[in-house]
Structure formats: C-alpha cells, structure tokens
C-alpha cells in the first residue's frame, strides 16, 4: 500500500474498514461494489479491511473468500463484539496515512468518499465526517429514525456543547497519527465510540471537516434502538464528568502538510520545507535599500525583482499619517447626534446654530397713539 509515484515520492494511502457482524448475506455484494468503485475512480492507494467481530454465521468464510478474489481486500477476525472495538483494533495497527470506515450496507453514496478524505490527505483537517443533517444532504429514511437522530444530536449540543451536526453517520475518516494519540483516551467500544472520538477531537481543537452525504435508509438494519439510546445516554454522562474534571486534554502530533508563513523582515517571503518534509516554514530574501532611499526596497522598486507583497507581510512599519503643515493628527471626538465625528469647534458652532433656531423671536410692542 506504500506506493511511490514516477518521481520517487511516496503517495499517501487510505485504509477503509468495514466492520461486520453476521452480514454474510450482503458482504460479497457490498465489498465487490466498493472495490470496483475505488479501483475505477479513487486516485490514491487504498486497502479495504473487513473487520469481523464475533460473527456466528458464515461471515468470516465470505470475508476470506473476498481476500482471495480481490487484490486490495484484507480481513481480520475479533472474538469480541463491538463496532468501536473493531475500528480501534484495525486503525491502531494501520500503515496508511488516513483511516476510514463505512457501514456494510453502503447506505451512504460512494461519490462522497473522495471529498471526505481529501482534506485529510492534504493535511488541512484532522477528522472528516459525513453528515445526514447538513442542509445540502439528500436523505431518504422514515420519520422515526429522523426524529431519533435529530433528538440525539440536539442532546449532544445541549449537554456536551458539540458543534458537529451528525455524530452517528457511518461514514468517517481520521488521520492515523491523530487517532493513535486519541485511542488510549476512548473508553467506549460499541456505538458511542464515534461520539466519544468527535468530542475528544473538538475539546482538543482539532479540525473536523463535514461532508453532506446522499443517504438511503437500510430497511434490514438490526440495530437495537432502545439499548443503543441507553448506552449513548450513559456515555454522555461519562463525557460530561470528564469535561468537568478536565480529563479530555490529549498530547497531539503537529498537523503535517501545512505551510506556516512567518513575517519576513524585508523583501518577498519564500516557503522552505520543514525538517520532516511535510511542514514548511517561511524564509525571506533580504534586499539592500536603493541609493538615496529612506526605507528598505520592496519588490517592484528600483530593479528589485519578485512579487509585490503587502506591507503587513513584509513586517515594515506602516507610515505615520500626519496632517498638512506637519501638525499632529487630531484626536478622535465623540460622535454627534447624527452619528458623525466632528471636531470640537464644529460641534460648538452647530450648538450655537441650534440655539439661534429655537430662540423665541421678539415681537414689537404695540404703539400707543394719542387720543384725538
């Protein structure tokens, strides 16, 4: 899976985990469809891992048959049940740069997979989730599941101050190094695993990218809604206690693949690769000021080459604004009743004008004419 391109540079890879439990009747069709789609349209190296967690039917035999027939499919078997346990086991041992998972019924449209993992492969984001509650999502499901999903996410916003829109959509991805740092702090191994992962990521100020998805409800879903809701409420109470006691902080690795631009003293800023090859640090090309100039030369002046950059990026101090005649700038005045700032003398003049306008006029006294 660690492939290189024509220039000898290692390409970033993705591992997709499909956790299954007694899904022998749909496993072959779903994995075959997913494998064909990724081979035809996914531009990065990938691996599909079927994680069988304590199945009692022919799921494991179907998974091993797929590994012999399809080149990019692998399978693992776990003795204990739990979606979170299966994801934690495979993701912690993955050699890929990005790990993802999706439900075996492929309820989520596969066209959203590349937009899901692209921000993680570029290093821009740390986690990515598919959202069925996004205003641009296209969802087909019954009113009962819609009510339960919206109520659960509303409780997360009220109780845990969550800012993500959909915690339980089976369509997520995370950078492998980030998950390895968060995994020891995730206690749940069942359905609350997703929520705990997202809450820990938000509490540690990680970037979570949301993708609106096309989602069609699976009528054959065998999730116990009541038991899952009770476990989720218990998990929310546990996370509230952890937040109140300050036990959500995690030491995380730096985000790779991003460019940190620092202010250059003079001249144009240039980006240099960091020591790990992923990060970048900005340098500067110092230029000598032209003859007779009072300030350092900037690109585009006196034969200095390079793109013109704003004064803020070069670190040069902004010029002082002075009035004509070398006077000191006026001090700001409070706004008048029109909301405009005026100098003191103008305010005094307008006050006099208003007094004159409202001053009562003197009426001439009547003349007394002598009686004839």
pLDDT tens digits for range 85-119:
999 999 999 999 999 999 999 999 999 999 999 99
pLDDT at 217: 85
User: What mean pLDDT comes out for the span 306-335?
Assistant: 53
Whether residue 146 is contained in a domain is answered as yes
Whether residue 249 is contained in a domain is answered as no
Q: What is the CATH number of the domain that holds 118?
A: 3.90.550.10
pLDDT digits (tens, 9 = 90+) for 13-49: 999 999 999 999 999 999 999 999 999 999 999 999 9
User: pLDDT band at residue 275, thresholds of 50, 70 and 90?
Assistant: very low
Q: Is the pLDDT of residue 168 over 60?
A: yes
pLDDT digits (tens, 9 = 90+) for 66-85: 999 999 999 999 999 999 99
User: pLDDT band at residue 263, thresholds of 50, 70 and 90?
Assistant: very low
Whether residue 264 is contained in a domain is answered as no
User: What mean pLDDT comes out for the span 140-167?
Assistant: 91
DSSP three-state, residue 98: strand
Whether residue 278 is contained in a domain is answered as no
Helix (H) or strand (E) run with residue 357 in it: helix 344-358
DSSP three-state, residue 33: helix
Q: Is the pLDDT of residue 235 over 60?
A: yes
Q: Cβ neighbours of residue 280 under 8 Å, at least 6 residues apart?
A: 258, 259, 260, 271, 272, 273, 274
C-alpha 20/C-alpha 62 separation (Å) is 11
Q: Is the pLDDT of residue 216 over 70?
A: yes
Whether residue 147 is contained in a domain is answered as yes
**Candidates 52, 97, 126, 194; catalytic one:** 194
User: What mean pLDDT comes out for the span 176-186?
Assistant: 95
Number of domains in the chain: 1
Whether residue 304 is contained in a domain is answered as no
pLDDT at 218: 78
Domain of residue 162: give its range: 14-244
57 is catalytic: no
Average pLDDT, the chain: 78
User: What mean pLDDT comes out for the span 127-153?
Assistant: 92
- Using CA of residue 111, residue 204, residue 47, residue 108, what is the dihedral sign? negative
Whether residue 7 is contained in a domain is answered as no
Per 3-state DSSP, what percentage of the chain is helix, strand, and coil (rounded to 5)? 35, 15, 45
Better pLDDT: 277 or 361:
361
pLDDT at 346: 56
Whether residue 74 is contained in a domain is answered as yes
Q: What is the value of pTM for the model shown? A: 0.67
Q: Which of 84, 101, 336 is closest to 190 using CA atoms? A: 84
pLDDT at 368: 58
């Amino acid at each position: 899976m660690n492939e290189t391109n024509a220039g000898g540079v290692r390409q970033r890879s993705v591992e997709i985990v499909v956790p299954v439990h007694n899904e022998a009747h749909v496993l072959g069709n779903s994995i075959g469809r997913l494998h064909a789609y990724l081979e035809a349209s996914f531009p990065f190296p990938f691996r599909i891992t079927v994680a069988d967690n304590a199945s009692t039917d022919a799921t494991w035999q179907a998974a091993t048959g797929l590994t012999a027939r399809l080149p990019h499919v692998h399978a693992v078997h776990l003795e204990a049940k739990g979606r979170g346990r299966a994801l934690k086991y495979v993701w912690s041992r993955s050699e890929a740069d990005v790990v993802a998972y999706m439900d075996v019924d492929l309820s989520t449209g596969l066209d959203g997979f590349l937009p899901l993992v692209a921000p993680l492969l570029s290093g821009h984001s740390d986690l990515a989730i598919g959202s069925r509650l996004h205003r641009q999502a296209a969802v087909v499901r019954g009113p009962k599941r819609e009510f339960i999903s919206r109520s659960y996410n509303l409780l997360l916003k009220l109780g845990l101050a969550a800012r993500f829109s959909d915690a339980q959509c089976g369509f997520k991805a995370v950078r492998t190094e980030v998950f390895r740092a968060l995994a020891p702090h995730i206690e749940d191994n069942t359905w609350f695993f997703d929520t705990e992962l997202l809450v820990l990521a938000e509490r540690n100020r990680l970037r979570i990218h949301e993708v609106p998805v096309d989602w069609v409800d699976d009528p054959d879903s065998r999730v116990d809604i009541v038991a899952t809701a009770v476990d989720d409420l218990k998990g929310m109470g546990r996370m509230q206690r952890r937040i109140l006691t300050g036990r959500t902080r995690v030491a995380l690795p730096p985000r790779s693949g991003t460019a940190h631009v620092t202010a250059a003293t003079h001249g144009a800023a240039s980006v240099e690769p960091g020591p790990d090859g992923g990060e970048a640090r900005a340098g500067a090309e110092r230029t000598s000021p032209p003859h007779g100039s009072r300030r350092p030369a900037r690109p585009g002046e006196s034969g200095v080459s390079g793109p013109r950059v704003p004064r803020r990026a070069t670190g040069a101090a902004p010029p002082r604004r002075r009035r004509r005649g070398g006077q000191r700038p006026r001090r700001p005045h409070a706004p008048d009743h029109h909301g405009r700032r005026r100098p003191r003398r103008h305010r005094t003049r307008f006050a006099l004008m208003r007094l004159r306008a409202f001053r009562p006029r003197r009426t001439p006294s009547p003349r007394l004419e002598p009686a004839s």
